[in-house]
Amino acid sequence: MKITRDLYQGSLTLLTDFYQFTMAYAYWKSGKAEQEAVFNLFFRKNPFQSGFTVAAGLDYVIDYCRNFQFSDKDLAYLADMNDGNGKPTFEAAFIDYLKDLKFSCDIDAVEEGEVVFPNMPLVRVRGPLIQCQLLETPLLNIINFQTLVATKAARIVLAAKDDPVIEFGLRRAQGIDGALAASRASYIGGCSSTSNVMAGQLFGIPVAGTHAHSWIMSFENELEAFKAYAEAFPDHTILLVDTYDTVNGIKNAIEVAKLLKERGKKLLGIRIDSGDLAYFSNIAREMLDTAGFPEVQIVASNDLDEHIMTSLKMQEASINVWGVGTKLVTAFDQPALGAVYKMSALKNEEGEWVPKIKLSQQSIKINIPGIHNVKRFIVNGKAIGDMIYLENLEEKEQVTIIDPIDPTRRKRISVANADSEVLLKPIFKNGEKIYSRPSLEEIRNRARNRLAAFDKTHKRLINPHIYPVGLEASLYEYRTSLVLKAKALENGK
C-alpha cells in the first residue's frame, strides 16, 4: 500500500459499492444496462438542527465524472474476482463492456455555495441505468461530507459575527482527504484561512498559523522563546501565551511587544488555547490595553464550536480571531449528512418516462417521482420560498407549494411579483462538461451572498424559523395519486 503512489493517482472509478457492480452486471445480463433513468441526490433533514444547508462538493463530482473510466488495473481486478471456487464473478464479455464504457450522462446540479434545503435535488443524474448506479456511491461520499462541513463552517462563521475564523482541523480530521476536502468546504462556508498548507497549495486558500507549546519548551524559558520567534517574524508575531501560566505568558508577550515597538514593529497578536477563554481573554485585553497595546489581537482556540462561541460572545469575551478545528472538520455533533440517491423516473421501451416511487412505512422516506427541478422565489432581495416542480410545468401566475411531510404547511406565491431562479444548473450534457467552473473565491462569495438573502430567523443557530420549501401543487397531487396507486397495487398482491 502506497498512499502517494498507488492511491489516487490513477482511476477512482472503483471507489464505489460492490453492489453497484453486481447490479451493473445483472442489468447488463438482463439487457437493461443502457435503459435511461433519472436519479436525484437529496437529504431529508438539515444537519445540526440548522435552518439551512450550504451545498459543496460539485467540483470534486465534476472531476470524478470527467475521469470516469476503468483502467486496465481496474478491469483486471474485476476480472479476477471469483466465487472462491475459481468461477469468475463476472463474464469476460461484461469486463469488455466496462472497458468501452464512456461517461455519457446529463448532470444538473445546485452550484457550490448555494443555500439548500431538505427534499430538493442537489444533483440530478440522467443517463444509462448502469452509469447512474455506479455513480451513486462516489457522489454521495463527496456531496454528503463537503456539504456537511460547509454548513458547519457557515454556522461557526455566523457565531463569530464579523471576526475571522481560522480552520485548523487537520490533526483530527478523518483521513487525508477528510482534511483537505474539509479545509475547502470550510472556506466555502466562510472561514478566512486554514492551517493546512497542502490545502493552501491545492486550493489557494490563505494559510495561517503561529507556534506550538513545543516551541516554548525547546527554550530555557518562555520569554527567550518569544524573543526568538519575534526575531524570525518581526512583522507577523503571534505568541501562544498559555504554555506554563497564562497571565505570566501575557506579561512576557507584552515585553516582546515593547521590544518590537522599539524597532518600529508591532506585535500582531497573542493566542490562548486553554483555560477559561472568557476570563483569560478579558484579562489579556486589559493587560495589553494598559501596557499601551490596544491593537494587539487576541486569538482563541480550544474545542470551539458555534454554541461555545455564541456563549463567549454573550459573555463579552475579548476575542478577535477564532481558531476552530475538530468540531468543524469532523462536524462533531453530526458527522454524517445522510443524503440519499433515489431513482425518480425510468424510460420504458416505448421511450416514455415512467415516474418511479419508492414506498416506505415512514412517509418521510417516500421519494418525489418524475423529473423535477427547484425554483427559488425572491421578493425585494429576500428568498420567500423554494418550489420543487416537474420540469414540464407550464408557466403560472400563481403557484402553491406544499410541504411533502406536513401538507397543511402551504404557501401561495404570486409569480408576477417575485423574481425567481432555477437552482439546478446544467453541468454535463451527454457526458460533456458544459459548466464553467467558478473559482473557489467566487463560490465562497456565492455562499455569503446567498445566505444574506435569507431572513436572519432562518439562520438562528438554535430552533430556527423553518424556510418554506414544498412541492408545486400539481406535483404534490401527482405524487399522492402515485403513492395511493402503489399502495393499492401492493395490497392487491
Scanning residues 329 to 388, which ones bind a second copy (CB under 8 A)? Answer: 330-332, 335-338, 342-343, 346, 356, 358-361, 365
In the complex with a second copy, the residue whose CB is nearer, 78 or 312, is 78
Q: Judged by CB under 8 A, does residue 288 bind a second copy? A: no
In the complex with a second copy, the residue whose CB is nearer, 203 or 454, is 203
In the complex with a second copy, the residue whose CB is nearer, 71 or 445, is 71
Q: Which of residues 131-150 bind a second copy (CB under 8 A)?
A: 133, 136-137, 140-142, 144-146
| Strand residue runs (E) in 380-418 | 382-390, 398-402, 410-414
In the complex with a second copy, the residue whose CB is nearer, 109 or 451, is 109
Residue with cell 470550510: 186
Burial-class residue 429 by CB neighbours within 10 Å (0-12, 13-18, 19+). middle
Strand duo 372-379 + 353-355: pairing: unpaired
Contact 109, 60 (CB under 8 A): no
Which candidate, 357, 363, 387, places its Cα nearest to that of 375?
A: 387
Q: Judged by CB under 8 A, does residue 170 bind a second copy? A: yes
Contact 468, 411 (CB under 8 A): yes
Burial-class residue 85 by CB neighbours within 10 Å (0-12, 13-18, 19+). exposed
C-alpha cell, 223: 520569554
Q: Which of residues 421-460 bind a second copy (CB under 8 A)?
A: none
Interface segment toward a second copy; rule CB under 8 A; list 244-252, 314-322, 423-431, 459-467: 244-252
One-letter identity of residue 273 = D
Contact 94, 1 (CB under 8 A): no
Contact 322, 165 (CB under 8 A): yes
For a second copy, which residue of 38, 43, 45, 129 counts as binding (CB under 8 A)?
129
Q: Judged by CB under 8 A, does residue 244 bind a second copy? A: yes
In the complex with a second copy, the residue whose CB is nearer, 207 or 259, is 207
User: 261-294 as b/e, with b when 16 or more CB fall inside 10 Å?
Assistant: eeeebbbbbbbbbeeebbebbbbbbebbeebebe
Q: Judged by CB under 8 A, does residue 40 bind a second copy? A: no
Q: Judged by CB under 8 A, does residue 302 bind a second copy? A: no
For a second copy, which residue of 34, 96, 228, 286 counts as binding (CB under 8 A)?
228
For a second copy, which residue of 34, 72, 96, 245 counts as binding (CB under 8 A)?
245
For a second copy, which residue of 45, 88, 99, 198 counts as binding (CB under 8 A)?
198
Q: Judged by CB under 8 A, does residue 175 bind a second copy? A: yes
In the complex with a second copy, the residue whose CB is nearer, 202 or 434, is 202
Q: Judged by CB under 8 A, does residue 478 bind a second copy? A: no
DSSP string, 129-169: HHHHHHHHHHHHHHHHHHHHHHHHHHHHHHHTTTS-EEE--
Interface segment toward a second copy; rule CB under 8 A; list 47-55, 59-67, 105-113, 398-406: 59-67
Q: What is the smallest separation between the CB atom of 44 and a second copy, expressed in angstroms?
A: 13
Q: Which of residues 253-282 bind a second copy (CB under 8 A)?
A: 274-275
In the complex with a second copy, the residue whose CB is nearer, 63 or 432, is 63
Q: Which of residues 69-128 bind a second copy (CB under 8 A)?
A: 73-74, 77, 81, 83, 87, 89
For a second copy, which residue of 88, 209, 431, 438 counts as binding (CB under 8 A)?
209
One-letter identity of residue 137 = T
User: 185-210 as b/e, with b when 16 or more CB fall inside 10 Å?
Assistant: bbbbbbbbbbbbeebbeebebebbeb
Residue with cell 451545498: 55
Q: Judged by CB under 8 A, does residue 60 bind a second copy? A: yes
Interface segment toward a second copy; rule CB under 8 A; list 109-117, 224-232, 427-435, 452-460: 224-232
For a second copy, which residue of 88, 99, 248, 431 counts as binding (CB under 8 A)?
248
For a second copy, which residue of 42, 43, 64, 476 counts as binding (CB under 8 A)?
64
Q: Judged by CB under 8 A, does residue 203 bind a second copy? A: yes
Contact 110, 424 (CB under 8 A): yes
Helix (H) or strand (E) holding 180: helix 176-188
Strand duo 53-54 + 115-116: pairing: antiparallel
In the complex with a second copy, the residue whose CB is nearer, 89 or 474, is 89
For a second copy, which residue of 34, 49, 72, 197 counts as binding (CB under 8 A)?
197
Contact 345, 125 (CB under 8 A): no
Q: What is the smallest separation between the CB atom of 144 and a second copy, expressed in angstroms?
A: 6
